[in-house]
Structure 1
Amino acid sequence: MDVPTTGEVRADSGEPADPAEPADEPREPPGRTDDPREPPGRTESAGVAEKRSWHAVAAVLEWGLLWAGMLLLAVYPRPPMMGDGLARYQALLQLLEQRQVPETPYSMIGPLFAAPLWVVGRWYDNPQPILAQYNVLLFGLGLVALHLLLRDRTDRRLLRRFLLVLVAGSMAAVHVQDFYGEMFTATTVGVGLLAATLPGTGRSTRLVGWLAVVLGVANTPASVAALGLVAGLLCFRERRWRYLLVPLAAGMLIAGEAWLRFGDPLHRAYAGTGGGRTVMPYSGETGFSYPLLLGVVAILFSFGKGLLWFTPGLFLPARRWLADRAGRGVAGVWLLWVVFVAGLVLVYAPWWAWYGGLYWGPRFFLIAVLPASLALAVRLGAAQAGPWANLATLAAVLLSVWGAASSLLYGQLWPWTCYDNNYYLEALCHFTPEFSPLWYPLVVEPALTGLQRIALTGYAVVLLWLTAPLVGRIVRQAGTAVRGGWSRWSPWGWRW
């Protein structure tokens, strides 16, 4: 696939490429010069060398920020294990140390892959600090896999931006801090779909990709319905029935684990579970007792759990630009990611605990960081975007980077109101901005340690690097509007 270079006109859109996006291999015609006093080829060679030099500097800086971000996630002090993460950790110890089959309702597929870390931890007589690194290790391996799969199929700077936003501009930052199971599912399903459906991958790569998808979905049984939507879309798109075998395989693995652990392949581990009675009208019920429409609205828009605030890139149209900048294959995978997230929303919306408990953000939907980050990465380089589209992208980047920074620095910071009286007013933390984990640190303004100040400075550097070209475009568009009228800012004729 040929990647458009600086100054080229795309044949399919008729629009110029982003001048702020130098290609890996600038292809300018040699020997052309606008100055007759210069020898042929001298001016163009200097221009090409300058662009290549800038591209090299940008690559080094972005890779440096990426590695620094991963180092920060790896060394940042871990909070004590809690909630579902602690339950999974204890279940793994029960299986490996006591040789007993755990009765926890959570799948053991994801935790079992942490067994090598448990072996290492046993050498030091304390496996917990080692196992606490499990999710950051999964995340790092996922980034490596994404890079290997995409490096020869998309623009290199777009790929670096995508990975950088995942590290420093997504809620993955909080999910690498504990032993929860969402990182395993998000990584295996996200990377697996890319490996299995991206055009040009080999047969063995596709098989490994589907295996990863099946394992990830089996680790979160509720996601099998989301996989069914993805399989249905692939069947319709490719005119092949064989994709239905993937959710069937995941369902068989789920039934097999239930049979081994509980003696019943149809055992429903979550049957009968429910929460306490709170101020909310539908609380205290069990199972799928929450109104579907209210659950969808809450998952998408609530201030404490809404995907709009925690993964804003998911709401930005990006498929056309992805097809232009990264190819139709990558755009197709992005669509599969979005469909999988949509399936998860439909599954969890009527669940009594659609909010995932007092955890930072919408944890059931961690895989949403993949399409959201890819959308932000491609829109950051969309020079042809209109002013309002650029402002929407800027707002999404600001929200995303702030979310990543606040989740890592402040973690599970909640007002005691959400815990009091058996969580009677817990809904305040799900629906109100003042008690939302995204904004509550701005309300109480907790003191920062030295490491937190360094981390916050790093996030600020990433934010400036990502948004500087975007802000420049907005300023130029505003200047053009002032000089030539405001027609470009008129809503008539806008497009994403």
Structure 2
Amino acid sequence: MSESQKTPLPSPPQIGEGADLGARRSGSSPTLGEAGRGLWSHRILGMLLLAGLLYSVYTFTNAGRFHIIDEVSLYGVTESVARRGTVDTNAIAWTQWVNSPGEVLGAFGPDGDVFSKKGPGPAFAALRAYGVTWAGRALGLKWGLLQGVLLWNGFLTALTAVLLWLTVLRLGYRDRTGMIMGLLFGLGTIAWPYANHLFGEPLSAFSLLLCFYGIVSFHHKEHKEHKEIRKSPFVWVAGLGAGLAIATVTAYAVLVGILGLLLAYYAVQAVWTTSPPSPLIRLQHTTFCLLPFAFCLLICFSLLGWYNAARFGDFLSTGYHFDSGEGFTTPILQGLWGLLGSPYRGVFWHTPLFLASLFALIPFTRRHRAEGITIIALSAALIGLYSAWWMWWGGFAWGPRFLVPLGPFWVLPLAAVLERDWEIERLRDFGRQTISQSPNLPISLGILAFLSGLIQLAAVTVNYVNYEIQLRDIFPTDWADPLKFGPPAQGIGDFAASPVIGQFRLMAQDFLANTDLAWLRADGTILWGVVLTGVVVVGFLIGLIVRWFGNENRATPIPNPQSPIPLILALAAPLIFVGVWLNGASTDPIYGAADVGYRAILSEIERDAGADDAIVTIAPFHYQIPMNWYDGKLPIFGYATDSMDHAEAVNVLSRAVDEHEGIWFVTAGLPPADPANSVERWLADHAYKATDGWYDDFRLVRYGTAAGDRIGYFDLDHVLTDDANRVEITGFDVPYTIQARQVLAVDLHFRLTEPATHDLRWFVQMLGPDGIPVAMLDTGPLDGYTTFSTLPAGEELTEKAGLALSADLPPGDYRLIAGLYNPGVEGSPRLRSERWGEDAITLRVFTISKTPSK
């Protein structure tokens, strides 16, 4: 039997029934309602201040950019769901072909689409941040979509700190202790650096703690009869947390199983104290009590099965590459040392505060035996699980990334140190609590907390990825297979090479070059508006928290619990700072300048693209620009120059050309008709180039497709010739009808009656009712990938051409003409028809009846 069972601890006062802090301090005798309002006003203010301070600090220290490719994969899912209601990550399909299969962040679906192998929970949870940022942009605010989502985990981690406070209260500790626990977790553990990443671990920490909180609340909530047990909302809370955890990482089912055992233990305990003595009835009541938890898990696994089927056509397929080496293949002692003691990833090096947690766990478990044993079991399960994982170190990461979910559970036992000598007495008249405690925080705990906070501050100040790269130069690395030699800095003798020390080395080497703060640029630029606002907001919130602590022991509450002003300020200050930060961070050069280069291309696509178009990119080092600034809903297919060597890319682009009316093709730093650009070469064979333009170092090519009904004409017997070249036009294909804003796709079928002696070029034009061209194309064969002088004679050939029709074409008759000219001769004369003597062939006359709206 636990200590809490021997001497039942009262649950935290509920609104309308709880303790009155003001009455306890002043000795007055307020009514029960006044007591509840006073306590909860004070408590809610404290929780808002805690969340606001942490969120402001996280925002202030956020880099505003990705660190690791894992983040890109998660954001790709969020973006796809928000824009188009799909779950693919085709926008970063190029990541599928990297050094090692184990480094691949996605997997191919049956049709070649790319899907993230990460659990869907974090990506779907981040939709809230995406929606808020999108709404801000709709109001004219210059907020980057990606940068707004990068603040999400900071918000979630702040909520986790508040949830930790609530858990502390459920175990019978004071609000003061809850505030301290929240601050220690939020600023003294690796939760801080990961609050600034788009990883799934912050959601894991929140969801597992939510499950634990629901179970503890169920246990400490007084149940007078079995009906109350069966209707307890806290079982639903626990089930929600369990489902979220599994939706984040399926392997967390092991941890949920441990938490489920704790819930079952408490359910049996509660039923036995409230139900009739019949074993059958008790079994029924226990089963009914656990049904909400089981129902939540059933829903979770059903949704995961649907998600897997939607991606890979198999309810059980997750996308992990177990056949390529992923799995639980590491000798467990090796991983155990790595996660706990190694200089590279040892948890106690990266968060010394957890050393105090080890000692605090003893008195904590004595007082809360079941909860303490559960924390030990959760820790053993998670550490054991990832000690055996093939990449237990988590790739390029800060500290033991996979142990982040244990953070709140390892901070929780410290409550037993902060309230070492305690006794709780429930005064039934007013629901009042009195707690006597040791007034001094142990000096050792303070030192460890300070040291831990300093380490986390170093982690967010300069970019730890830069030191990870340096480590690969210090220790053996094969960059063709970076996983070949495993993680560096494993031996205790390598402590000087630990990333903990490495952060300070980066500062000494070149602080500006290694900075990881959005408001401090590598060129020395400081965003003073962000800095000053952040300092004022953080300082203001710290001041309110200091007053809040003082209010714990004052006779008169400060501020007045009836006044809404402190609550409003606690809410408004962080939100104002977030808006200022987003506005400043949006100017980061990594995301391009407005109306220049890639961003100018995106603006043109948003303005001119049709709803059934698609975007194809060959810009693997600039993927963050459309992620941050593109507001449209067109699907994006992001490839590398050699992607068409892979059947999956061919399948996806073949489908894109069949299903979409237009293709907007973006390249970065590549010349037209680059022989290495397999994607453009493929498009030359399968799509119809209409326009080709440069935007600084970026290039935008617009293609049409053969979507829709088409009409073909053959046996034209038109021969175009000059003194040295003779080309027979044998037929053409065009759509039945045209309309403004589309790309008119034209197939020209031709044959060289004899080898060409010059490199001729095609011209295709649409002449308006007045005979003036309204659209035209000038191109070499196969969009410049070959020349006329190298084409075989006597073979049937096809040239694909596209004409981009303006959105404002007036109604009338439009004449489509085509022909050839010789740029190798002075004046670039056109070839003429042997039969008619004309220098162009009229292919078809189209009628536009009206200008369609976009």
Q: Would the TM-score normalized by the shorter structure come out above 0.5? A: yes
CA gap 1:182/1:131 in 2 versus in 1, 3 angstroms = same
Tell me the equivalent position of 1:143.
161
Distance (whole Å) between structure 2 residues aligned to residue 338 and residue 24 of structure 1: 35
Q: Looking at CA atoms only, which structure, 1 or 2, has the larger radius of gyration?
A: 2
What amino acid sits opposite 2:73 in the alignment?
A
User: Which 10-residue stretch deviates more, 104-113 or 431-440?
Assistant: 431-440
What amino acid sits opposite 1:204 in the alignment?
P
* Corresponding residue SS for 1:97: helix
1:440 pairs with one of 474, 483, 502: 502
Tell me the equivalent position of 2:467.
414
Q: Alpha-carbon deviation of 1:233?
A: 4.7
Identity within the alignment, %: 18
1:46-57 to 2 correspondences below 5 Å: none
2:260 paired with 1:231: yes
Tell me the equivalent position of 1:203.
232
Do 1:310 and 1:403's aligned partners in 2 also have CA atoms closer than 8 Å? yes
CA gap 1:207/1:101 in 2 versus in 1, 3 angstroms = same
Q: Alpha-carbon deviation of 1:380?
A: 4.4
1:243-258 to 2 correspondences below 5 Å: 245=294, 250-258=300-308
Tell me the equivalent position of 1:35.
none
Tell me the equivalent position of 2:399.
361
Distance (whole Å) between structure 2 residues aligned to residue 335 and residue 382 of structure 1: 19
Do 1:300 and 1:307's aligned partners in 2 also have CA atoms closer than 8 Å? yes
What amino acid sits opposite 1:127 in the alignment?
L
Do 1:120 and 1:127's aligned partners in 2 also have CA atoms closer than 8 Å? no
2:307 paired with 1:307: no
Do 2:188 and 2:456's aligned partners in 1 also have CA atoms closer than 8 Å? yes
- Considering only aligned residues, what root-mean-square deviation do their CA atoms show, in Å? 4.3
Do 2:345 and 2:400's aligned partners in 1 also have CA atoms closer than 8 Å? yes
Q: Alpha-carbon deviation of 1:139?
A: 1.7
Q: TM-score, normalised by structure 2?
A: 0.41
Q: Deviations over 1:203-259 (max 9, x none)?
A: 223312321221222211121122223323544565567489376665444334322
Do 2:194 and 2:202's aligned partners in 1 also have CA atoms closer than 8 Å? yes
Q: Alpha-carbon deviation of 1:65?
A: 7.7
Distance (whole Å) between structure 2 residues aligned to residue 206 and residue 238 of structure 1: 10
Distance (whole Å) between structure 1 residues aligned to residue 251 and residue 210 of structure 2: 19
Q: Alpha-carbon deviation of 1:334?
A: 5.1
2:330 pairs with one of 282, 285, 290: 290
* Corresponding residue SS for 2:496: coil
Distance (whole Å) between structure 2 residues aligned to residue 181 and residue 74 of structure 1: 18
Distance (whole Å) between structure 1 residues aligned to residue 50 and residue 152 of structure 2: 22
Tell me the equivalent position of 2:776.
none
Distance (whole Å) between structure 1 residues aligned to residue 49 and residue 379 of structure 2: 31
2:72 paired with 1:72: no
Do 2:50 and 2:162's aligned partners in 1 also have CA atoms closer than 8 Å? no
Do 1:311 and 1:369's aligned partners in 2 also have CA atoms closer than 8 Å? no
1:131 pairs with one of 125, 128, 149: 149
Q: Alpha-carbon deviation of 1:66?
A: 7.0
1:266 pairs with one of 316, 322, 337: 316
Distance (whole Å) between structure 2 residues aligned to residue 337 and residue 255 of structure 1: 29
Q: Alpha-carbon deviation of 1:159?
A: 0.9
1:86-485 to 2 correspondences below 5 Å: 86-102=72-88, 103-123=115-135, 124=137, 126-148=144-166, 150-151=168-169, 153-198=172-217, 199-201=219-221, 203-235=232-264, 239=268, 242=290, 245=294, 250-272=300-322, 285-312=325-352, 313=354, 315-319=357-361, 321-322=363-364, 328=368, 332-333=370-371, 335-382=373-420, 393=445, 396-412=448-464, 413-420=466-473, 421-422=478-479, 423=482, 427-429=487-489, 432-446=494-508
User: Which 10-residue stretch deviates more, 342-351 or 447-456?
Assistant: 447-456
What amino acid sits opposite 1:428 in the alignment?
P
Q: Alpha-carbon deviation of 1:115?
A: 1.8
Tell me the equivalent position of 1:486.
none
Do 1:218 and 1:224's aligned partners in 2 also have CA atoms closer than 8 Å? no
What amino acid sits opposite 1:308 in the alignment?
F
CA gap 1:76/1:427 in 2 versus in 1, 3 angstroms = same
CA gap 1:448/1:378 in 2 versus in 1, 3 angstroms = farther
CA gap 1:411/1:429 in 2 versus in 1, 3 angstroms = farther
Query: Which protein, 1 or 2, shows the higher relative CO under an 8 Å CA cutoff with sep ≥ 6?
Result: 1
CA gap 1:178/1:230 in 2 versus in 1, 3 angstroms = same
The number of residues matched between the two structures is 401
Q: Alpha-carbon deviation of 1:311?
A: 4.2
Distance (whole Å) between structure 1 residues aligned to residue 314 and residue 216 of structure 2: 34
What amino acid sits opposite 2:156 in the alignment?
L
Instruction: List gaps (5 residues or longer) in structure 1.
Output: 1-10, 13-22, 31-58, 275-284, 467-496
CA gap 1:394/1:85 in 2 versus in 1, 3 angstroms = same
What amino acid sits opposite 1:181 in the alignment?
G
Do 1:337 and 1:370's aligned partners in 2 also have CA atoms closer than 8 Å? no
Q: Alpha-carbon deviation of 1:425?
A: 5.8
Do 1:429 and 1:435's aligned partners in 2 also have CA atoms closer than 8 Å? yes
Q: Alpha-carbon deviation of 1:267?
A: 1.0
User: Which 10-residue stretch deviates more, 62-71 or 265-274?
Assistant: 62-71
Q: Alpha-carbon deviation of 1:89?
A: 0.4
Q: Alpha-carbon deviation of 1:408?
A: 2.0
Distance (whole Å) between structure 2 residues aligned to residue 371 and residue 323 of structure 1: 12
Distance (whole Å) between structure 2 residues aligned to residue 448 and residue 304 of structure 1: 22
Q: Alpha-carbon deviation of 1:333?
A: 4.0
Q: Deviations over 1:321-350 (max 9, x none)?
A: 4478xx64xx64454344223211122221
Tell me the equivalent position of 1:493.
none
Distance (whole Å) between structure 1 residues aligned to residue 160 and residue 511 of structure 2: 31
Do 1:338 and 1:368's aligned partners in 2 also have CA atoms closer than 8 Å? no
Q: Deviations over 1:183-211 (max 9, x none)?
A: 11111121232123323448223312321
User: Which 10-residue stretch deviates more, 393-402 or 163-172?
Assistant: 393-402
* Corresponding residue SS for 2:359: coil
What amino acid sits opposite 1:136 in the alignment?
G
Q: Alpha-carbon deviation of 1:129?
A: 1.4
Q: Deviations over 1:18-62 (max 9, x none)?
A: xxxxx978989x9xxxxxxxxxxxxxxxxxxxxxxxxxxxx9999
- Larger fraction in helix: 1
Distance (whole Å) between structure 2 residues aligned to residue 126 and residue 445 of structure 1: 28
Q: Deviations over 1:88-114 (max 9, x none)?
A: 101222333244332111122221122
CA gap 1:266/1:229 in 2 versus in 1, 3 angstroms = same
Q: Alpha-carbon deviation of 1:151?
A: 4.3
Q: Alpha-carbon deviation of 1:373?
A: 1.8
